Structure 1
Amino acid sequence: MDNDRYDPQNDKGIYYLRTTAEMTVNDAARPSVTQIVNDAVAQCGQETDGSEYDMALWLHDWTLDQLEYDHSLNWCSAESGLTRHQGTCESYQRIYSKLLDAAGIANGRITGNGHTWNAVKIDGKWCQMDLTWDDTNDNWYGDLDQRHLYFGLTDELMAIAHSDHTANYQKGSYAYRSTDLSNNYFVRNGKADEWAEKYADRIQEHLNAKEESFSIDADNQSFPPSISGIQNGIVAHAMNC
């Protein structure tokens, strides 16, 4: 109740009542965002081995299955993404973050080049995930699975796609330093070793021929730099392991 007795305009004893109302709507056909997230994480727990890597990958793929990129740029929240199934990069990042939070997996938000994506901590190591750029069913680049190209990258490799990120991770206060590719999708599924083996065989041929200097053409030299640069970094990691 609000009655200011010192207000000269309030000489008629007028009272103002302020109330706050909370409303809960139960409709199985329209579950809440919290319920959608919790159901997804529960399903994830049933369909994976429960490891942080497998859960992060399952939730990544689940998010991509829910969303279409909103080119009109009208929808940018987790709520719009999970109910309207449309959203910008903000929706992808926020949905994945909610899922990871519910699964107990540490994560963070990173921005650069007018874009946002996730940092995810798997088995004590930070890595980078860009679900927006992974959301494609195209396969323009041979045996490179583009739907997982940006899953488990280092800071340096993510900066190939998002140049502003170089300034991010060079700051002393940066909290999500990602320098390890052990949880990269292609490293974990063995594809990186297959790519590296092709180069290793060609290198060995030159060595067997006792050539003092030689060069080898990259298999992906026709790919855009944002694709080939990342793939080459993954191959280099596999060859050094």
Structure 2
Amino acid sequence: MIVDRYYYAQLNKQEQAVYKAFYNGLMAHEDVIPIPIKGQLTKEVFNKIFRAMTRDNPLIYYVNQSACNWATDAFGHTAICPQYFYSRETVRKYNRNIENAVNNLAAQLKLTEGTDYEKEVRVHDWFCKNVKYDFKGSDMDEPTRVVLSHNIVGVFAKQKAQCEGIAKAVKVLLNAVDIKCIVATGEAEANGKKEHHAWNVIDIDGSPYQVDVTWDIGASKGRIAYDYFNVTDEIISRTHSFEDEMPKCISLKDNYFERNRLTFRSRSQLIAYITQEIEQGRNKLYFRIDGLFPKLRRSELAGMVAKIAAGGQSRAVKVQQIPNEKVGTYWIRIY
């Protein structure tokens, strides 16, 4: 198991000292946590350290991130006064349950076997099959549900969470089997609306990739979607913006479509693929187009597939499409 503290490494020495003292105090469930600085701690610096610590350490799920205060006395001593969602005894119980859930999943998914890419696929697929997005997880009339949906307890206990809980649970599982994974935060645009969002940056064989498991869960209806699995900064930036500087993701080597030779950069390549799949009796196609024709019109693509499926015969062929034109992926069913 690795402890991947990416955000800690981005802090200066004084901020790191505060981070360590804060972390140790929270792990001990202390009500007052003295921190090693002289003078005032600004709100900007405090928020930076707090964000770094909670993203680096998903197992600190029991702290109220919106109601944590600090105070400085007349002698210049500063202390942090956290608020906890759960008692020390409840946290111990939850920690045991989380540890058991992680160990059971690691065994069930055989996360000690295979390459890092294969482990990542198994984790991604488990989330897409088993975890649901909690659409009511921001309802302030249900505060308990809000807390659960924004941390790892929602995933491991209820298998239901919002993006923050999902991204943090992905990090816990992958870090547990020695795969570097960090939580990325920022904004994402869907249906013309920007909202705060969380996803992951995952290191596979030395190359970092952008991965949005939450959005793949949303697209996995009757199938498993890989639209946001191991993509580059350029691809994810079409819909996402980063809150902080992140590792540069420029490789597509371990992108799902690249690995499975399902990225097509010319019309002739795509036609050859569709023809081959239909000839082999497959009626579901999933691929990504890139390069010279990334904006292939839906009607044009449907007509192309129907024509190939008809095989020159005058028979009606229906084509269902689920496109994600932002990233160039298409799921098609022929019937």
Amino acid at match of 1:69: Y
CA RMSD of aligned residues (A): 3.3
Counterpart in the other structure of 1:104? 178
Match of 1:198 in 2: 267
- Cα distance, 1:66–1:231 mapped onto 2, change above 3 Å: same
Q: Whole-Å Cα distance in 1 between the matches of residues 180 and 104 of structure 2?
A: 19
- TM-aligned CA deviation for residue 64 of structure 1: 2.3
Shift in alpha-carbon separation, 1:43–1:230, aligned structure 2, 3 A: same
| Counterpart code for 2:186 | G
The two structures have a TM-score, normalised by structure 1, of: 0.65
Aligned equivalents of 1:116 and 1:199: distance in 2?
Answer: 38
Instruction: Pick closer, same or farther for the CA change 1:107–1:216 going to 2, 3 Å.
Output: closer
In 2, distance between residues paired with 1:67 and 1:122? Answer: 23
Q: Aligned partners of 1:72 and 1:175: how far apart in 2?
A: 30
Q: Which residue of 2 aligns with 1:12?
A: none
Q: Tell me if structure 1 keeps the 8 A contact 2:265–2:293.
A: no
| 2:288 alignment counterpart | none
Q: 1:126, CA displacement in angstroms?
A: 0.2
Match of 2:216 in 1: 134
Q: 1:184-224 CA distances to partner (integer Å, 9 max, x unpaired)?
A: 011111111xx33535589xxxxxxxxxxxx968435579x
Q: Please give the secondary structure, in 2, of the residue aligned with 1:153.
A: coil
Distance 1:216 1:22 in 2: 58
* Cα pair 1:128 1:150 within 8 Å, conserved: yes
Kindly, what percent of the aligned residue pairs are identical?
A: 25
2:159 to 85, 91, 101: 85
SS at match of 2:106: helix
CA positional deviation for 1:128: 0.8
Where do 1:61-80 residues align within 5 Å?
A: 61-73=125-137, 74=146, 75-80=149-154
After superposing on structure 2, the runs of 4+ consecutive aligned residues of structure 1 that deviate more than 6 Å are: none
**Alpha-carbon distance in structure 2 between the residues aligned to 1:116 and 1:41:** 23
Gap runs ≥5 in structure 1:
1-19, 26-30, 140-144, 169-173, 203-214, 233-241
Could you say which residue in structure 2 is the equivalent of 1:142?
A: none
Structure 2 SS opposite 1:108: strand
Q: 2:235 aligns with which of 151, 154, 157?
A: 157
- Report the secondary structure of 1:81's partner residue: helix
Change (3 A) 1:227 1:45: same
* Residue correspondences, number: 182
Give how far 1:38 is off.
Answer: 1.5
Deviations 1:17-62 (A, max 9, x none): xxx975876xxxxx7111111121223227x851000000101111
- 1:33 maps to 2:98: yes
1:118 corresponding residue in structure 2: 200
Amino acid at match of 1:132: T
1:13 aligns to what?
none
How much does 1:131 deviate?
Answer: 0.6
Q: Find the aligned partners of 1:38 and 1:201 in 2 and give their Cα distance.
A: 42
Give structure 2 stretches of 5+ with no counterpart: 1-86, 138-145, 188-195, 272-291, 302-322, 330-335
Q: In 2 relative to 1, CA 82–111 (structure 1 residues): closer, same or farther, beyond 3 Å? A: same
Residue in 2 that maps onto 1:57: 121
